[in-house]
Amino acid sequence: MGVSLGVFPPHLNPDAWCGVTSSPWPWGWGGNACGVSSRNVLWVIEGTSCDLPWQAALFKGDKFICGGTLVARNWVLTAAHCHVPGFINVRLGGRGPKDPGISEQRRLSAKVISYPRYDPATKDGDLMLVKLLQPVHINERVKPLPLASHCPVPGKTCQISGWGSTTSPEGMKPVDLHCAKVTIVSEEQCRRIYPGSITPNMVCAGEPRNRADSCQGDSGGPLVCDGRLQGIVSWGPGVCGDPQKPGVYVNLCKYTRWIQETMRRN
């Protein structure tokens, strides 16, 4: 598992945040690993192979850029910092970016709609809807995930998933989709960990008992609680898997109305 951050909050030490890379897509594959210049420790980030029918992989051409979640037959929800110019290629139902499998469905983006008040500097409002040119065929391998109907409760165990790094800061990438369990952290505790960086539109989740975490390459992927989409991988510390520093996710309960109205109008 791994978090790709496009840009770090500017008032914090840049060397402590992901996204410091020479790659054209700092949240994607093949760039410098998060935190390489700032830490010597190598975390092994806990996670197991899994198979989720709502998990999407977003590409620019053949280059993997982000994860995403199928929320309707023709809509994928991801992070706004995953935006790239031009068309986005969306893949669902395969094993992973490097192993599509026979069940994979591929779609081009017809329209990309970022949240209008997204702030790239602070990551507030870090969500984006991708409308598919053609709806997907719903089957056991490809099906949408419903949005959560309420805000997350601290202490709740949830699931994250993606093709991000399984080690940090070295940045080894898995072939298969990986999943991990994380626990929702209270807003008060998260504010103490990341002073001045947390808004009510964000939610923190981590695992103090082990190194389960999102990491480089997981951006835009889902945080799932009770079988519903609760959050989107947004940002986190430069070295993933630190039990004392949870990942930060878009708190989707704050955006349910915008998501539903945007899909209806488009």
Catalytic residue list: 81, 126, 219
Q: Where are the alpha helices (DSSP H) in the chain?
A: 187-193, 256-265
C-beta of residue 250 within 8 angstroms of C-beta of residue 51:
no
Is the CB of residue 204 less than 8 Å from the CB of residue 190? Answer: yes
Is 176 exposed, middle or buried, given 0-12, 13-18 or 19+ CB atoms closer than 10 A?
middle
Query: Please, are residues 248 and 21 in contact by the beta-carbon 8 Å criterion?
Result: no
Q: Encoding tokens for residue 223?
A: 């945080």
For residues 104 and 83, what is the distance between their CA atoms, to the nearest angstrom? 23
Rounded CA-CA distance 257/191 in Å is: 26
Distances 41 to 5, 8, 170, 212, 238 between C-alpha atoms, Å: 20, 21, 9, 16, 12
The Cα-based distances of 172 to 29, 33, 163, 167 in angstroms read: 10, 9, 10, 6
